[in-house]
């Protein structure tokens, strides 16, 4: 498993990191995003959306659970999930979470812990440490055969 650690000191830097990650994606990736409330998960998601050419504003889908966005690559959708409100793994099956695990989607899952048994091993795991005005440590781990090292500029 490859691991890379990045440091960001502002929301703008976290957005830029998300944009840089987007440039490495081809479709079919599942990104599991971990971090406490206020860590910047949705900020990273916004950067990923910008990097993928999403025209709509990216907001946390806390109440809708799943939000699908068209990207500049008409063959790939950006799917942003927020599973914070789920109480049982079976609820993920009911709302069709795994239906998005396919090559024409890039799935970003906030709070993936509840469905860990449903997520394929080939995934990118991102842990954001820090909150408030503190610097963030953003740790990328991947089980993919290719390495997703990205620039942090």
List the domain range (segments joined by +) for residue 88.
Answer: 2-142
Q: Which pLDDT score, from 0 to 100, does residue 125 have?
A: 95
CATH of the domain at 14: 3.40.50.300
| Domains: count for the chain | 1
Position 3 scores a pLDDT of 84
**Below-50 pLDDT ranges, the chain:** 145
User: In which element (H, E) is residue 136 found?
Assistant: strand 136-142
Task: Report the pLDDT value the prediction gives residue 143, as an integer from 0 to 100.
Answer: 66
pLDDT of amino acid 86? 82
| Residue at 149 is within a domain | no
Burial status of residue 140 (CB atoms within 10 A of its CB: 0-12, 13-18, 19 or more): buried
pLDDT score, position 145:
47
Question: Do the domain assignments include residue 152?
Answer: no
Q: Flag whether 70 is in a domain.
A: yes
pLDDT one-digit tens code per residue, 104-129: 999 999 999 989 888 999 999 999 99
pTM for this structure? 0.88
């Amino acid at each position: 498993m490859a691991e890379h650690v990045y440091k960001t000191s502002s929301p703008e830097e976290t957005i830029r990191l998300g944009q840089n990650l987007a440039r490495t994606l081809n479709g079919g990736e599942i990104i599991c995003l971990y971090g406490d409330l206020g860590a910047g998960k949705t900020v990273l998601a916004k950067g990923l959306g910008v990097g993928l050419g999403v025209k709509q504003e990216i907001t946390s889908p806390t109440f809708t659970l799943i939000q699908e966005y068209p990207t500049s690559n008409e063959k790939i959708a950006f799917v942003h999930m927020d599973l914070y409100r789920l109480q049982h793994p079976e609820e993920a099956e009911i709302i069709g979470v795994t239906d998005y695990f396919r090559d024409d989607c890039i799935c970003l899952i906030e709070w993936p812990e509840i469905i860990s048994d449903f997520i394929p091993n080939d995934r990118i795991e991102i842990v954001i440490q820090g909150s408030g005005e503190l610097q963030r440590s953003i740790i990328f781990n991947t089980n993919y055969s290719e390495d997703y090292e990205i620039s942090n500029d």
